[in-house]
Amino acid sequence: MEVYGTELASRLFLGTAQYPSPTVLENAIKASGSDLVTVSLRRETAEGSGAHFWQSIQSSGVRVLPNTAGCHSVGEAVTTAKLARDLFGTSWIKLEVIGHADTLQPDVFGLVEAARILVQEGFQVFPYTTEDLIVGEKLVEAGCEVLMPWGAPIGSGQGLRNSDALRAMRAHFPGLPLVVDAGIGRPSHAAQAMELGMDAVLLNTAVAKAGDPAAMARAMALAVEAGRTAYKADPMESRDMAIPSTPTLGMAVLT
């Protein structure tokens, strides 16, 4: 998978929040095979655990995608992105502008405005958005070269609540990298997203809160691989009626 001119070996992107310890996080990253993880500026700069956390990320040898998690305004998101660029040394930013406190749904109006500002400032933006096609078009017009539509509210584990809209998004943006971000709770959800033609999946809670995070990370990696392989194999469409797999021609007729 190629994003902003950079080739990534894995189509599974991993969040780094909520893990019980840095060691558990390191093991999960290794088991996932992921080479891209998201990092919150707030987490990295937290007192006490911040330094240890950042050392764990660096030792994993993965690429870092800072995010603007928790930002509820354009100004806050832009400022956080600039601080993250200075701290992490990358122009990549996962842009979040949250519009609703309960659902954590993106404020799509603020998102487009913030994306436009950050692109002009030299950032390469990964916008956390809805599956709305018009919003997607506005983000692309603003300079985004990847879209990250949600599958369901962050941390809900509900899976894909609107698979038809995601399928339409894939058809509407045939050459653009699409990453399902948020809502993935089980490997079957990840496989479904990839079967729809998504280019990657970004998840966090499903692995971090599992009884065995490393095992779940491995399961998610296998699901992403299986879903992608199935999509490339051009799977059969569902049918309303049964069709026999054995031909009826030549069958014996008993009288």
Question: Hey, which residues are catalytic here?
Answer: 94
List of residues 6+ apart from 97 with CB closer than 8 A: 68, 71, 72, 73, 74, 77, 106, 107, 110, 111, 114
**Is 183 annotated as belonging to a binding site?**
yes
- 176 contacts 145 by C-beta, under 8 angstroms: yes
Give Cβ neighbours of residue 234 (< 8 Å, ≥ 6 apart).
Answer: none
Element (H, E) at 15: strand 12-15
182 annotated as a binding-site residue? yes
Give me Rg for the CA atoms of the chain.
Answer: 20
Identity of the amino acid at 151: G
Let me know if 30 is exposed, middle or buried by CB neighbors in 10 A (0-12, 13-18, 19+).
middle
The answer to whether the annotation marks 204 as part of a ligand binding site is: yes
Written as one letter, the residue type at 112 is V
C-alpha dist (Å) from residue 156 to 21, 43, 133, 166, 248: 22, 21, 23, 18, 48
CA angle, residues 134, 135, 139, in degrees to nearest 5: 115
Binding-site residues, please?
155, 182-183, 204-205
Binding-site residues for 1-deoxy-D-xylulose 5-phosphate, please?
155, 182-183, 204-205
